[in-house]
Amino acid sequence: MTILKKVEHFREEEERLKWEGTFADYLELLKEKPWVAQTAHSRVYNMIKDAGVEEVNGKKEYSFFKDQLYGVEESLEKLVEEYFHSAAKRLDVKKRILLLMGPVSGGKSTLVTMLKRGLEQYSRTDNGAVYAIKGCPMHEDPLHLIPNHLRKDFYDEFGIKIEGNLSPLNMMRVDEEYGGRIEDVIVERIFFSEDKRTGIGTFSPSDPKSQDIADLTGSIDFSTIAEYGSESDPRAYRFDGELNKANRGMMEFQEMLKCDEKFLWHLLSLTQEGNFKAGRFALISADELIVAHTNESEYKSFISNKKNEALHSRIIVMKVPYNLKVDEEERIYKKMIADSDLSHVHIAPHALKVAAIFTILTRLKEPTKQGVDLLKKMRLYNGENVEGFNSQDLVELKQEDPDEGMSGIDPRYVINRISSAIIRKQLTSINALDVLRSIKEGLSEHASISKEDRERYLDFISVARKEYDAIAKKEVQKAFVYSYDESAKTLMDNYLDNVEAYCNKNKLRDPLTGEEMTPDEKLMRSIEEQIGISENAKKAFREEILIRISAYARKGKKFDYNSHERLREAIQKKLFADLKDIVKITTSTKTPDESQLKKVNEVIARLIDEHGYNSTSANELLRYVGSLLNR
């Protein structure tokens, strides 16, 4: 489908979704679809819920935020359940401003933008449909037409609570245009749009001397006063402030805490009572979600000011910290690169992972739990198995410092440094060392990093480099193993035969001579030592393997190379240890012979075909690992 056809299709869909009828027709519609009368907070919650909710390891993950926000699942669960869900149930939290607090480039703006774009799309669905009094600049809820004294009867009949009163403009229109017959008032379906200022607003503070409160609440239209004769005539008022236009949806209050006090006073009444004052009118009802965002230092300054005490109790603060998982940080970088002009550049495998290791280390707080260092903590946070620690240890680590993730290096800095390295050196391929080198060079230019933090960050670059050294050696050694899986399977089968004989106190039979042999202790220990199994622990480890094999057999499943993670790691390390000398000689020889050259070319081909390298990065990796092994 061409782009013009898609535009035409969208236009046709818009026409199909349009609805217009009298208030009497709308009430019939409500009988069929009572959810249409939901509040703004309820609409946001249902939008998130309808996109799909999955429970992973006892935590809720929302498909709505998938592929956009990474590694902040716990913060999102708290936001959705403690704020949106409670507000949707009309609990007191509904009367609070949602203030997202977090470090720079931590995802606050992305989160708000997702909610705004999501509402625009959701208002075009059946579950998210929104109806308003036609011709109303505030897209007023048609149910405000029901007089207060009949609202209990309405609830008894429809089961729907009505909040808010008819605006001055619509009160006048009902009398003058419809002769007081509310059943004849025209209602239409509306579609949220930030660009068209329908149901979504954005307010950004500017110079306090020049900014007018009218930006929030609307203003008098002086050109019509002569026609209507009074400033208190609602027809002489422009209901075009952000609070007016965001009614029924949400308003983003950018940098709210930098705003002049007079702008914040209107929020007191809006949040607590659901209305605000505009011009010479009675209070105007508004049903909207107010979302603001700020950083930690501004928030601390705000709460320390006694003048702001009234607003303190009207604010719900939700922390949006940095992601603390290496794998998720890597996904953030991949997304940012895909969205940039760098997508044509080849980024070698593990380059972004090594950058993520450095970044996460800068965000973690030093653990106080015995036996845990920053690297172990990083691995536990990333969902990796760390010997001697379990899920309860992870819970305890996360409870040590509630402010963890509120400081450190932001993702944008890493992407900027990658960009700098590519542009400055005109590279078409970049590896982990290039990335770390560029990050290191940029630390001295980063104005907000203190001297103490800079020294600490340099240490983290060294740690990340060591992690990369281990990854690089493993990658090359793995590529050197011809028919790697077959070699691993053969070694594992041999080990398992010996373990079974050892545990059952049996002998093994030599397949060639038929002689009986005792289990090969040297072979078993050479494998077990690769993962630190001590002499005292070997019996328990071997029995654990047999139990696992039996469990698989009972379920009719085959025990294979991937069935026991620690055994797999031991087999890999044993294979690599046996190959080390071959790798060392082949990668470091300046003038390789024909057989060595053939081996190198095979390895490069495997790195390209199976591991995601290109010829440049594969050759660089081989040279680097050769230098490591020769040290």
Beta bridge partners of residue 317, listed in sequence order:
99
CB-based burial of residue 433 (10 Å sphere; 0-12 exposed, 13-18 middle, 19+ buried)?
Answer: middle
Angstrom distance (rounded) from CA 335 to CA 331: 6
DSSP per-residue codes, 559-583: --TTS-HHHHHHHHHHHHHHHHHHH
Radius of gyration of the chain (CA): 33
What is the per-residue pLDDT across 186-199, written as a single tens digit (0 to 9) for each?
999 999 999 999 99
What is the per-residue pLDDT across 48-67, written as a single tens digit (0 to 9) for each?
999 999 988 778 889 999 88
Q: What is the mean predicted confidence (pLDDT) over 268-295?
A: 85
Q: What is the pTM of this model?
A: 0.82
Distances (CA, A) of 359 to 234, 362, 409, 436, 459: 56, 5, 6, 11, 12
Give residue 267's pLDDT: 79
Q: Which tokens hold the place of 214?
A: 């009218």
Q: Which tokens hold the place of 29?
A: 């519609």
Q: Which of 223-232, 311-320, 576-585 has the lowest mean pLDDT?
A: 576-585
Q: Among residues 70, 40, 65, 36, which one has the least CA distance to residue 51?
A: 65
Q: What is the DSSP letter of 10?
A: H
**Does pLDDT of 94 surpass 70?**
yes
**Does pLDDT of 323 surpass 80?**
yes
Q: Which residue has the higher pLDDT, 303 or 198?
A: 198
What is the per-residue pLDDT across 469-527, written as a single tens digit (0 to 9) for each?
999 988 888 787 665 667 788 888 899 999 999 998 888 887 777 788 889 999 999 99
Q: What is the domain partition of the chain in residue ranges?
A: 3-319, 330-466, 490-566
What is the per-residue pLDDT across 98-115, written as a single tens digit (0 to 9) for each?
999 988 888 889 999 999
Residue 359 near residue 329, CB atoms below 8 Å: yes
Q: Which of 13-27, 376-390, 415-429 has the lowest mean pLDDT?
A: 415-429
Q: Which CATH class for the 3-319 domain?
A: alpha beta
Q: What is the mean predicted confidence (pLDDT) over 230-258?
A: 87
Q: What is the mean predicted confidence (pLDDT) over 315-343?
A: 89
Q: Which residue has the higher pLDDT, 560 or 332?
A: 332
Q: What is the mean predicted confidence (pLDDT) over 575-598?
A: 73
Mean pLDDT, the chain, integer? 87
Tell me the range of 166-180, 247-261, 262-276 where mean pLDDT is highest: 166-180
